[in-house]
Structures are given as C-alpha cells and as structure tokens.
Structure 1
Amino acid sequence: MAPKPITSPVPDAWYPTLAVFMLAIGLVITASFFIYEATSLRKNRSLAKELITGAVASVFLGFGSLFLLLSSGVYV
C-alpha cells in the first residue's frame, strides 16, 4: 500500500483570496482596537475587551500572513 502524499486542507488557488480577506479583517480589528484605546477614558476601559480584541486581531493577521507567504511561494 503506497503512502498518500501530504496535501493542504485548503486549495492552493484560495491562498491569495484568503490572504487579502484575513489581512483586511485583521487590520480593521486592529484599527478598531486603536480607536477604542484613543477615545475611551482610562477608567472606562475593559481589560477583557482589550484582550479579546487583540487576540482576534492577532489570529487574523497571523493566518493572513501565513496565506500571503504561501501564495507568494514561500512554503512554511
């Protein structure tokens, strides 16, 4: 029995589209984080909201960067 080759769970043709959308979503969430930090008073800020917003933005920017590298031919 021959071993199966390792393949990506996402088709290669989707890499550029996923990169654009995930980076765009990550940048929008990052912008909303900065706007929240600049416009809210220090005593009215929520640590939980800051951590969740930062984590979600980080995930989208991380996967967006991964798909950007994959679409440009840098296989990581």
Structure 2
Amino acid sequence: MVESVKPISSPVPDAWYPTLSVLMLSIGLVITAAFFIYEATSSRKNRCLAKELTTGAVASVFLGFGSLFLLLACGVYV
C-alpha cells in the first residue's frame, strides 16, 4: 500500500515561477491600465457593462495568478 503513494508535485516546474509571475503581473497591469483608460475616456452613455465586466475579470485572473506565482517564487508556499 505504501509503495503506490506518490508525493505531491507541482504541475509547473519551480524554475518557471519568477518568469510566470512577471509575465502574468505585467499582463494584468496592462489590462488594468486599459480598463482605467476606457473608464476615463468614454462617456457615461457609450459605456458597455459587458466589456467592463470582461476586462475586470480578465485583469483579476491575471493579477491573481501572478500574485500566486510571485509568492511561490519567494518561497511562501500557499
């Protein structure tokens, strides 16, 4: 029974954590900046709720995973 147990390992190699964190945080910040520019430059009548929600959700996902990989790269295993 003990022989069939495998240790838990990450699906992503540890060496990729810093690269993934920088990449995902950069993409998330660019999308966040695009969201703020869209909100500041469009008038109240021309705004689209679906575009706002989609942009916010995509930025949130990238920033969330980027923060996770940043913590993993620093040695904080969450």
The runs of 5 or more residues in structure 1 that have no matched partner are none
Structure 2, unpaired ranges of 5+: none
Taking every aligned residue pair, what percent have the same amino acid on both sides? 83
- Of 19, 22, 37, the match for 1:20: 22
Instruction: Provide the residue aligned with 1:71 in structure 2.
Output: 73
Which of 55, 58, 65 is the equivalent residue of 1:56? 58
Q: Which structure is larger by alpha-carbon Rg, 1 or 2? A: 2
CA RMSD of aligned residues (A): 0.5
Shift of 1:2: 3.4
CA distance in 2, matches of 1:28, 1:50: 15
| Corresponding residue of 2:10 | 8
SS at the partner of 1:42? coil
